[in-house]
Amino acid sequence: MLWRASCVTSLFAPSSWSIRCINEEYNSFLVFPSSSLPLYLPPTVMGVVQSVAQNVYVFSWDACLTAANLVTPNLKAGQVVPKGRPGEGGKWPEYVAPKDGDSRCCCPALNALANHGILPHDGRNITFKELNEACRTVYNFAGTFCFFVPNYAANMLHKNYSKDTFDLAELNLHNGIEHDASLTRQDTHFDPDQGKPHLPYIRELLDSATKKDAQGRSILTADDLSKFSAKRRVDAQASNPEFSLATIHKVFGSSNSSTLLTIFGGIVPDLKIILEEERLPEGWEPSIRSRMGLTFASFNLTVFKVENGTKKYMSSAEDKKRTD
């Protein structure tokens, strides 16, 4: 078994936050609240030392990528997707809507990869390494992020990162990565098929955008996401008799919504296509132009801002719910 999990307090985050890791072949990490995760420790002192060293190495790797992004020029517009890869110059492979029997999941970005044939169109028998590469080249996530996500998914599904495959629908495991109070899906209690977007939520979210860019396009902000996330949590808790949302899933939710700002730039006309059709618009490329991609150190700044804002707006959302 390639997986060996442990936790260690981050040197770069508050002491109440910990790191969940680890894969023996590919090191990876993500910052989570320590209170939300079980603590797994190797049985020997040597194992503890090795795990701590491994975690420090991974953190150092992400810190180095973050530093490199600060001192290297950004990629030019139109050159974010690497040469020879699907989407180079904003030219995406043909979009084909999913057919009956195709496997889809709760993540619009992953479904879009399948709809364009970047991942297998039927959404089946995907290797975790395929997922790694696709997230890196299409969305310009940093290597640390692209290692973590497939590794975490493999661990969640009790699969081997290097040898096994998965279907997209397997990621819909309730309270695994999928969670209640999604911004784009109904709760599993109301619709077990988490591969389908719920258009009323998406349209309400996009209509809540408060900013305009220089071209006059509506733009979602972190504050917009926080307000809508708070509303969704309050509404879901009031209507769903099986509602659950642990701290880790609150962070997952804020992480997912933060990609709307970081990778997609909060641009409402683009997000309408991406979220409703799960299609990449012609000419689209990631808003992140950092040469090393979006690192955890940078990404978590947005995640924390959205999650903290959501907490701030919860009481007003609850008051509004009571008066409605």
The pLDDT > 70 percentage for the chain reads: 83
Helices (H), 263-324: 268-276, 296-323
Confidence band of 60 (pLDDT split at 50, 70, 90): confident
Domain boundaries, the chain: 7-323
pLDDT tens string 2-28: 333 333 323 233 333 333 433 333 333
pLDDT given at position 57: 73
Confidence band of 96 (pLDDT split at 50, 70, 90): very high
Looking from the CA of 34 toward its CB, the CA atoms found within 13 Å total: 14
pLDDT given at position 6: 32
Amino acid code (one letter) for 278: E
Query: Domain 7-323 is in which class?
Result: mainly alpha
pLDDT given at position 4: 31
pLDDT given at position 40: 41
The pLDDT > 90 percentage for the chain reads: 75
Rounded Cα distance between 223 and 309, Å, is 7
Lookup result for tokens 């989570």 = 32
Q: State the average pLDDT over residues 112-127.
A: 99
Query: Taking the C-alpha atoms of 320, 183, 237 and 174 in order, what is their torsion angle to the nearest 10 degrees?
Result: 180
Amino acid code (one letter) for 179: H
CB neighbours (10 Å) of residue 28?
Answer: 25
Confidence band of 43 (pLDDT split at 50, 70, 90): low
pLDDT given at position 152: 83
Q: Is the pLDDT of residue 165 over 90?
A: yes
